[in-house]
């Protein structure tokens, strides 16, 4: 067995490079070559029982076992190639394996392989680097972090929000007895990715990074001993900043990066990095009272009155109360009553996204005789994040010709796996809004006044559409803005501390025990 492996690697025509090149040539051959008939294949197979075609031998050496890939096969193939007919048909892969010439020594090996009941093949394991995306750990130090502030929530809209505080600690773990750290820095940046950039296939137009804060934790090189060393950091995220989002047009993320550069003998080593993402949310505060909307649909007398919540949340259901009045009319000239009957109701939650895709320096249009001016292209997208159609579930009242109505309570919410984005509006032109669309399909019917049960369809129908503006936002929970829970500032302190009463002023010769009574001691009799 070892001598066959050595012969396989020594054979020039059996090398992996030659086999791949020959296989590529065979694959690139024109497909218009005339294929021989099955009868010609059988004749050629009988005629070339002791020999194989050149292309088949090369394929055989690339894809068969070690026994069939011996160097003797290539030598025999070169000898029989000159004796074979010029226009001999090329056998197929399965035929070449069964009808190719195999030396007697290999027949014996094949019998042994059949006795063992398995077939040996060569395998070439190929590794394409690391499977994990995490950077390799350093033997000198490691960087970790811990956030000490509550969840990052911006309370209020972008114009009135005071922002959110972010504080935590960075930990530098030294693994050796003494390690010199050349520098230790941290940055917080906001990364905006345009999914429909100004110029396609342009990285600068698609990605924009803005640095919000940078910390220089070690201004000078410092030698640290073995153990864990902590470095605090804090930042105030301003209220006009957008929340973290992943919409249809763009995505916004906050990235926190820390980098420590160790030294050995005065030579800088590969830096140790830490990359984390901050989840920034926004909570818009609204009124708890439901909004009231009234809509009239001319030329009919139908009037829709709706009560709905203006603020909705991604988790949970919401209720809309709808009442239709004016759905019946008495026609005194012909003595009939006309009804509008509700047949179908469809509600849909729509998300409208707007953004401005900025242009980079290369693709920014140049004005006449002026410097480059950064411009952008507005983008708009509308998608549905919740939808349902109802054919029943409402209560109709047609007992009176003047006071007929339809009442219903509609529950709506986001779809189970809907990819949503909360309402936001930032200075860079990104804006996300939501609306609830309700569509009613009504059909007209009539009946005689003296026989109201004889209802006849007129074939007239109408579609009533209503749009209600809603705000989709995260729940505020029990948290409040950082400025409301801060201690009083210097201007709120009174001019002076309160004065002591004259009854508690003690003479210098007296002791404090003579004035103050011990709580858990025996009571002192008074005279």
Report the pLDDT value the prediction gives residue 305, as an integer from 0 to 100.
Answer: 95
161: which DSSP letter?
-
Show the domain range for 194.
Answer: 141-283
Burial class (CB within 10 angstroms; exposed 0-12, middle 13-18, buried 19+) of 148: exposed
Residue 133 placed within a domain:
no
Partner residues linked to 395 by β-bridges: 407
Return the SS3 of 93.
helix
CB atoms within 10 A of CB 261: 19
Q: Are residues 316 and 376 in the same domain?
A: yes
Smallest CA-to-CA distance from 68 within 114, 120, 2 is with 120
Element (H, E) at 147: strand 141-147
Q: Which residue is it, tokens 């093949």?
A: 121
* Cβ-contact 321, 307 below 8 angstroms: yes
366: which DSSP letter?
B
Q: Are residues 313 and 440 in the same domain?
A: yes
Report the pLDDT value the prediction gives residue 505, as an integer from 0 to 100.
Answer: 52
CA distances from 367 to 198, 370, 374, 428 (A): 18, 5, 10, 22
Residue 507 placed within a domain:
no
Q: State which residues of the chain have pLDDT below 50.
A: 1, 5, 12-14, 31-89, 91-118, 123, 126-132, 367-372, 506, 527
Q: Are residues 304 and 452 in the same domain?
A: yes
Residue 172 placed within a domain:
yes
Give buried/exposed letters for 387-418 (b at 16+ CB in 10 A, else e): eeeeeeebeeebeeeeebbbebebebbbeeee
* Cβ-contact 428, 344 below 8 angstroms: no
Residue 526 placed within a domain:
no
What is the CATH number for 231? 2.60.40.640
What CA–CA distance (Å, rounded) separates 121 from 105?
18
Q: Are residues 332 and 442 in the same domain?
A: yes
Q: Are residues 110 and 228 in the same domain?
A: no
Return the SS3 of 82.
helix
Q: Are residues 272 and 304 in the same domain?
A: no
Helix boundaries (H) for 64-208:
71-83, 93-99, 104-116, 203-206
Q: Are residues 307 and 454 in the same domain?
A: yes
Cα 159 to chain centroid, rounded: 28
Q: 248, 266, 283: which is the final residue of a domain?
A: 283
Q: Are residues 13 and 70 in the same domain?
A: yes
* Cβ-contact 237, 152 below 8 angstroms: yes
The model's pTM is 0.63
Q: What angle do CA 351, 355, 357 make, to 5 degrees?
A: 145
Q: Pairing relation of β-strands 164-194 and 222-237? A: antiparallel
Burial class (CB within 10 angstroms; exposed 0-12, middle 13-18, buried 19+) of 272: buried
Q: Are residues 165 and 268 in the same domain?
A: yes
* Cβ-contact 237, 188 below 8 angstroms: no
Q: Are residues 443 and 312 in the same domain?
A: yes
What CA–CA distance (Å, rounded) separates 508 from 512?
10
Burial class (CB within 10 angstroms; exposed 0-12, middle 13-18, buried 19+) of 471: middle
Q: Which residue is it, tokens 């949503």?
A: 420
Element (H, E) at 175: strand 164-194
Q: 83, 116, 149: which is the final residue of a domain?
A: 116
Q: 116, 149, 178: which is the final residue of a domain?
A: 116
Smallest CA-to-CA distance from 357 within 377, 337, 343, 340 is with 377
Q: Are residues 87 and 212 in the same domain?
A: no
Q: Which residues contact 210 (CB under 8 A, 6 or more apart)?
A: 189, 190, 192
Residue 65 placed within a domain:
yes
What is the CATH number for 442? 2.60.40
Residue 484 placed within a domain:
no
Cα 10 to chain centroid, rounded: 53
Cα 222 to chain centroid, rounded: 40
Residue 243 placed within a domain:
yes
Q: Are residues 317 and 452 in the same domain?
A: yes
What CA–CA distance (Å, rounded) separates 331 from 338?
7
The total number of residues shown for the chain amounts to 527
Element (H, E) at 344: strand 336-358
Say how many domains are in the chain: 3
Residue 246 placed within a domain:
yes
Q: Which residue is it, tokens 């067995």?
A: 1
Q: Give the tokens for residue 12.
A: 């020039």
């Amino acid at each position: 067995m070892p001598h066959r492996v050595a012969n396989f690697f020594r054979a020039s025509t059996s090398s992996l490079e030659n086999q791949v090149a020959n296989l590529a040539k065979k694959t690139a051959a024109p497909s218009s070559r005339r294929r021989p008939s099955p009868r010609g294949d059988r004749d050629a197979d009988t005629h070339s029982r002791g020999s194989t075609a050149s292309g088949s031998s090369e394929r055989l050496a690339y894809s068969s076992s070690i026994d069939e890939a011996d160097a003797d096969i290539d030598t025999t193939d070169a000898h029989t190639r000159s004796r074979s007919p010029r226009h001999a048909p090329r056998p197929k892969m399965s035929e070449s394996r069964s009808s190719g010439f195999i030396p007697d020594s290999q027949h014996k090996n094949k019998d042994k392989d059949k006795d063992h009941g398995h077939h040996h093949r060569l395998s070439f394991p190929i590794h394409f680097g690391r499977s994990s995306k995490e950077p390799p750990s350093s033997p000198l130090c490691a960087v970790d972090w811990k956030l000490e502030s509550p969840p990052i929530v911006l309370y209020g809209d972008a114009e009135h929000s005071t922002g959110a505080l972010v504080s935590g600690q960075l930990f530098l773990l030294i693994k050796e007895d003494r390690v010199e750290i050349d520098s230790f820095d941290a940055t917080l940046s906001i990364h905006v990715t345009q999914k429909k950039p100004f110029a396609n296939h342009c990285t600068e137009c698609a990605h924009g990074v803005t640095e919000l804060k940078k910390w220089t934790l070690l201004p000078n090189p410092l030698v640290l001993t073995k153990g864990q060393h902590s470095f605090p950091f804090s930042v105030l995220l301003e209220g006009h900043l957008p929340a973290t989002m992943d919409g249809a047009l763009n995505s916004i993320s906050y990235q926190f990066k820390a980098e420590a550069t160790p030294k050995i003998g005065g030579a800088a080593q590969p830096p140790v990095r830490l990359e984390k993402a901050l989840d920034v949310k926004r909570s818009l505060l609204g009124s708890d009272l439901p909004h009231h909307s009234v809509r009239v649909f001319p030329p009919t007398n139908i009037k829709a009155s709706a009560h709905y919540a203006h603020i909705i949340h991604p988790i949970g259901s919401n209720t809309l109360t709808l009442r239709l009045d004016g759905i019946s009319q008495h026609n005194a000239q012909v003595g009939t009553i006309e009804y509008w009957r509700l047949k179908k109701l469809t509600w849909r939650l729509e998300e409208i996204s707007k953004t401005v895709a900025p242009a980079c320096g290369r693709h920014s249009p140049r004005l006449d005789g002026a410097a480059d001016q950064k411009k952008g292209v507005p983008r708009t997208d509308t998608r549905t994040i919740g939808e349902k159609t109802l054919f029943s579930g409402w209560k109709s009242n047609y007992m009176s010709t003047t006071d007929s109505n339809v009442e219903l309570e509609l529950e709506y919410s986001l779809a189970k796996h809907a990819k949503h984005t909360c309402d936001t509006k930032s200075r860079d032109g990104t804006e996300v809004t939501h609306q609830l669309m309700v569509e009613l399909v009504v059909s007209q019917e009539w009946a005689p006044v003296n026989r109201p049960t004889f209802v006849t369809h007129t074939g007239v129908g109408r579609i009533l559409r209503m749009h209600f503006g809603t705000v989709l936002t995260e729940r505020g929970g029990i948290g409040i803005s950082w400025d409301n829970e801060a201690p009083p500032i210097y201007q709120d302190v009174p001019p002076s501390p309160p004065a002591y009463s004259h009854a508690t002023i003690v003479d210098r010769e007296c002791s404090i025990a003579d004035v103050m009574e011990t709580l858990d001691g025996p009571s002192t009799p008074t005279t």
